Amino acid sequence: MLMLFKELNKNHVSLWVCENKLKLAYTGDIPPVQLIDEVKQKKDNILAFLNEKRVFSEEAFKGFIFRENIASEHHTDSGVSAPTAKNAIEAIFPATSLQQGFVYHYLAQPQDDAYRVQLLLDYHANVDSAIYQQAWLLASLRFPILRTAFDWEGEILQVVTANHSIDSKNFTTKDISQLAEKDRNEAIEAIQQHDRAQPFDLSRPGLVRFTFIKQEEQLITVLITLHHCIIDGWSYPILLQAVHKYYNELAQGCSPNIVADKAYLATQQYYLDHKAETEAYWRERKSQFHSMHVHGTNDLSPLLSHRVDLAKIKTVEKPAGQILTIQGSPYEQLKDTCREQGITLNVALQFAWNKLLHSYTGDGHTIVGTTVSGRDVPVEGIESSVGLYINTLPLMVQWEQTDSIAAVLQNIQQDIAALNSHSAVSLSSLQSNGERLFHSLLVFENYPLPEASENKEGIGHTLTFRRAIEKVDYPVLLMAYTHDNRLVIKFSYGEDWLTEKQAQRLLCQLERILHAVAYTPNQQHSSITLLSEEERHALLDSWNQTAVPYPQDKTLQQQFEAQAAQRPDAIAVIFEEQRISYGELNRRANRLAHHLIALGVRPDDRVAICLERSPEMVVGILAILKAGGAYVPLDPTYPAERLAYMLEDSAPVVLLTQTAQAGKLSSTVPSMLHDKMVLLDAHAPRFETLPDTNPDTQALGLTSRHLAYVIYTSGSTGQPKGVMVEHRSVLRLTSNNGFADIGPDDCIAHCANISFDAATWEVWSGLVHGARILLIPEKTLLHPAEFGQCLSSEGVSALFLTTALFNQYAGLIAPSLSGLRYVLFGGEQADNRSAIRLRAEHAPKHLLHVYGPTETTTFATAYEIPLIESEDKKLPIGRPIGNTRIYILDKQGQPVPVGAAGEIHIGGAGVARGYLNRPDLTAERFLPDPFSPQPDARMYKTGDLARWLPDGNIEYLSRNDFQVKLRGFRIELGEIENVLTAHPQVRQAVVIDCDYNGHKGLAAYLISEGALSDDMLIQHLSDRLPEYMIPASFTRLENLPLTRNGKVDRHALPKPALGDHDNYVAPRNALET
């Protein structure tokens, strides 16, 4: 029979019994027919034999063959010592999942000391080293794990030798009693470090060694170094208790009774017998990990002092730590609540740490490594067994906003129980492409090593636990245990990533969460606050002290008229060869304004203006304001369908344009506007003879609370939405703003499209302060050399560029930027390298990264980039500008701590009136400001996720919806999707932003019917959307990937496929639009 089995093994065939049936499996080539025939002939005998040997799995068959080979041939291929009386094989089992990981690490980095565990024990007694050594030898006879080695020739196996494997070779003696007391600790530290550097040979049993250090006759320090492959924290006190018992009995002349630990080997067999069940459980859990996108999530960077590549952290090189102790009434209340809820303290702590992560990251699911005991399997004696039972597994917690603390606690309790029941799994098998599932580890030692033995006799009573030395390979580790009626939490981290102050703040927040668990378990978890009163005051008040005087009771035209009166001959507008003074500009605008008043324009009436960038455009918007109206800028390049919608929605009383645009507009202008269309070139004679005096603002009933303009931004419904901005909000942007002090000596480059809100700052910062405005023609803007020459020759001192354009020009025209007073950029996430290089090599006086949505009047924050800035640091968006308040709030509208992710809400004088004709959306996004000292204050809910940095600056993170910014334009992806699905052949569509060889673009995915080319799609979109909203690629799918909740899984979409269209080319850089 054995010869048959060995022949089967040579041909990579395995046999085992399952439900009293013979199972056969093979790898590689098909086994010889005659070999299979022999198995069939001897089937009954084979079944009986394998049942007797308890070969119930493929792994058990391989182990059986391995043992038989050793026994019969006196050698192995694995490097395990040849069997002698001393090391004959007692058992062979597959290595546990954690052991496999340790072995892989050992093979990859044999000199690394990450999994060498050290204990330093002080015995305040005259310990006999020979008896102590004998006691450990007896312990190795009792506990098979101390006689275990590992084989990795094929499958990684743990090989248990039959007899003891601890002897004199494992012991070293040091005598430091001659040293002064103050030098002994240094000597012990040196001994410990030297010993730690010595590797273990995992192929040989006895993976433990001892250094017996004599300090005094009555003070012996023992350094015990073990490989983590053979022991866990639960086992330490069991093992030491057994050693101390044997020592005491030997010292008294007694012969200890050695009762073999059978639980360890029985547990290994249990794992084999239940392997299929465990694999089925983890297949389901792994599918959840992938569907919920936890791979790569739970980024701990919000907790750390700066963003780091967590994937590169293998071991913590500079460990640091803080201690949190829960004791007294809070501890008693926490225990009472745990009893009432039927949970353990471990569950309460798991909740607290996961909740802290949830608060900082904003993830709907958090995932933390948790160490399970592995002792929940039904094996007799497992509680007092020694071995590596533990495993580190992912615990995933789902956060539903309405769940109570108690409900989440129950879910965690159930999940931990399931982890314990299915703990025999390799963590690496659950990971995707080797990417970590989690970056923090929580270990609850509910059986900690005591500081002193309970035994009142023998050496155990003299023991003082000095310390344990174990390396941390996760950025954050929480180790908790209970002792002396208190809960002790050790928070370990790398000092490169957290400062001591930050670590202390996190522990204070963890304590507040535990307090909520203890005292208010029935409240919603979302109502837990992490902030102290001091922190809350800083976030809501101290960092929002931005109130400064500004002309809040004036209108824009009043401020301009004051400049025209004071400096009538000063140049106001420069365009190519034209120079227009403030006086001339004012007179031309006045004449047109009187014409508009005659046409019936009144305060808050909308007046559309559709012109190319030109002096006439500036005249037009000034005239509209002077007449009391609000200008509605329309880009002449927009598709006719989009222009028609904007005209219909804004319902202007007059439309200003020129003959060149009139033809395109004629088919889109509502019939009621045909008689109210003013062609500034053809109709000029109608108003050139009108008065050139300023219209009487007071007589018109015009105030700073009236509308200045309505700008349309992308909308998720498929149509753009108009943002209504008042005069006072624009003056809050231009006057005493705290980031750019524009004056009469300045020249501002006007580069932005008038329908883009950046033009608000460009035009009005100049006109209300007597500065010059240089109108940059489109062709010049898109030609770097010409643009740079233009800036230099006209003496431009202030410039705003979209981030994409800035990234290009920071390198191409850097010398031309060096002479400017202010260079501002923003609109999407910045490439900090471009900014830092410009700042270092060709620095303008002020280089500013700005941020702000149209709904809060262009800019809300600004960050001045210092001369010395790290390229590794993500550029913040800065602090709130003058008369602006910034709140970063959670989903309950409460402030989040420094470092935590939340949604930006913007308050202050820049908040727009709302959306035109959209009271529902206005009520949803423009909210009462509960934090402002001003009555009736409002704040805008931006949809932008960000976090406070410790210095009071803000770091932008992402959008919380499907809105993106591309080349300075804000785009609702849903709008493009709706237009796509309006095509009769498109059933479903999804649009995402993606990267095309380093440049951002849009990618469309669709399910369509019939022949539908990319060119046809582009034509369909181009008729309805502006160019910047046209995707660069179109990928056809049979079905869109879905999440478990039935929603489109955007993360599972394939890489975009470049389409078949010939006429469309995606922009290669920020200059091509």
Contacts of 448 (CB under 8 A, 6+ apart): 233, 237, 481, 482, 483
User: Dihedrals φ, ψ of 480, to 5°?
Assistant: -130, 150
Share of the chain above pLDDT 90, in %: 53
Mean pLDDT confidence for 89-106: 86
Q: How far apart are CA 234 and CA 377, in angstroms?
A: 15
- Map residue 183 onto helix, strand or coil: helix
Give the number of other CB atoms < 10 A from CB of residue 569: 8
Q: How confident is the model at residue 933 (pLDDT cuts 50, 70, 90)?
A: very high
Question: What would the mean pLDDT of 771-779 be, rounded to a whole number?
Answer: 95
User: Any idea which residue has 């943002």 for tokens?
Assistant: 723
141-155, 357-371, 793-807, range with the lowest pLDDT: 357-371
Structure tokens at 539: 């976030």
pLDDT digit string (tens) for 1031-1040? 999 999 988 8
Q: What is the chain's length?
A: 1073
What does the alpha-carbon distance between residue 919 and residue 483 come to, in Å, rounded to a whole number? 60
Q: What gap in Å lies between CA 128 and CA 987, rounded to an integer?
A: 84
At residue 493, the pLDDT reads: 86
pLDDT at residue 456, as a whole number: 52
Tell me the residue type at 770.
Answer: G
Looking at residue 1033, what is its pLDDT?
A: 93
271 closest CA partner among 426, 149, 417: 426
Q: Domains in the chain, please, with CATH?
A: 1-84 (no CATH), 87-261+449-470 (3.30.559.10), 279-439+474-530 (3.30.559.30), 533-547+776-961 (3.40.50.12780), 963-1052 (3.30.300.30)
pLDDT for 414 equals 95
Tokens encoding 855: 């709904």
pLDDT tens by residue, 393-444: 999 998 988 899 999 999 999 999 999 888 888 777 777 655 677 888 899 9
User: How many other CB atoms sit within 10 Å of the CB of residue 618?
Assistant: 25
* pLDDT at position 181: 86
Q: Considering only residues 229 and 810, tell me which one the structure prediction assigns the higher pLDDT.
A: 229
CA distance 525 to 892: 11
Q: Is the pLDDT of residue 936 over 80?
A: yes
Query: Which residue from 54, 419, 66 is spatially nearest to 273, judged by alpha carbons?
Result: 54
| Contact between residue 91 and residue 146 where contact means Cβ atoms under 8 Å apart | no
- Per-residue pLDDT at 1073 exceeds 60: no
Q: How crowded is residue 384: how many other Cβ atoms within 10 Å of its Cβ?
A: 13
Pairing, β 463-469 against β 116-123: antiparallel
SS (H, E, C) 470-527: CCCCCCEEEEEEECCCEEEEEEEEECCCCCHHHHHHHHHHHHHHHHHHHHCCCCEHHH
Q: Mean pLDDT lowest for which of 94-108, 226-240, 867-881, 941-955? A: 867-881
> Does residue 929 register a pLDDT over 80?
yes
pLDDT of 982 higher than 50: yes
Query: What pLDDT was estimated at residue 1064?
Result: 36
Give yes or no for a contact between 523 and 505, defined as CB atoms under 8 angstroms apart: no
Mean pLDDT of the chain: 86
Maximum mean pLDDT: which of 20-24, 558-562, 900-904: 558-562
Closest-CA residue to 629 (of 611, 648, 654, 612): 654
Whether 966 contacts 1001, CB under 8 Å: yes
Model pLDDT for residues 683-734, shown as the tens digit of each residue: 888 888 999 999 999 999 999 999 999 999 986 666 899 999 999 999 999 9
- Positive or negative, the CA dihedral 785, 786, 792, 798 is negative
Q: What pLDDT, on a 0 to 100 scale, did the predictor assign at position 208?
A: 96
Q: Is the pLDDT of residue 571 over 50?
A: yes
Q: How does pLDDT run across 467-504, given as a tens digit for each residue?
A: 666 665 677 889 998 888 999 999 988 777 778 888 89
pLDDT at 628: 98
Task: Supply φ then ψ for residue 825, to 5 degrees.
Answer: -145, 155
Q: Is the pLDDT of residue 1010 over 90?
A: no
Decide if 205 contacts 161 (C-beta within 8 A): yes
Q: Does the structure show a pLDDT above 50 at 958?
A: yes
Sign of CA dihedral 240, 244, 250, 255: negative
**SS3 label, residue 1042:** strand
**According to the model, what pLDDT value does residue 1062 have?**
39
Greater pLDDT, 513 or 460 = 513
pLDDT in tens, 516-558: 999 999 999 999 999 999 999 999 999 999 999 999 999 999 9
Please say if the pLDDT value at position 246 is more than 90: yes
Q: Read off the tokens for 513.
A: 């969460």
Per DSSP bridges, beta strands 721-726 and 914-915 are antiparallel
